Amino acid sequence: LLVFLGLALPGTQGKIISRCEMVRILRRNGFEGFEGTTVADWMCLVKYESGYNTKAYNNNGPSRDYGIFQINSKYWCNDGRTAGSKDACHISCSKLLNDNIEDDIRCAKKIAREAHGLSPW
C-alpha cells in the first residue's frame, strides 16, 4: 500500500514553477503596474496561495480554489459542483489545474481588473 501511495502522489502534484521563472512569466504577461499592482505583489500571492504549484487545489467547503492563483469556483470558474457559481471567467476550473497557466493568467487579470487590484484574494 505504501509503495502504491508513493507512486500515486507525484502524479497529483503539478509543475512547481521556480521563483525566477514566475517573475519572467508575470513580467512577460504585463503584471507589473497592472491595476496598481507590482510583480512583487503577484509573487507574494502565488507563493502563499499555491506555493508556485500549477495544480494547487483547496476545498473550502461550499467552494474550491484552483491553480497557481487559487481561483475560486464560486465567482470565477465552473467546477460543476459549486452552487450558484458565477463563472465570470467563463472557464472550467479543471483547465486551471495543468502546467499551461495561460488560462490562469487571463482569469487572474480579469479578477484584478474587476476588483481594481488584489483584494479578492
pLDDT tens digits for 73-103? 999 999 999 999 999 999 999 999 999 999 9
* Rounded Cα–Cα distance for residues 70 and 1 (Å): 31
pTM assigned to the model: 0.88
Which residues participate in catalysis according to the annotation? 49, 65
The pLDDT, as a whole number, for residue 12 is: 56
CATH level 3 topology of 19-115 = Lysozyme (1.10.530)
Using the predicted structure, report yes or no on whether residue 105 has a pLDDT greater than 70.
Answer: yes
- Give strand ranges (E) for 1-121: 57-59, 64-66, 71-72
What is the percentage of the chain residues whose pLDDT exceeds 90? Answer: 84
The pLDDT, as a whole number, for residue 96 is: 98
List the chain domain ranges. Answer: 19-115
Using the predicted structure, report yes or no on whether residue 4 has a pLDDT greater than 70.
Answer: no
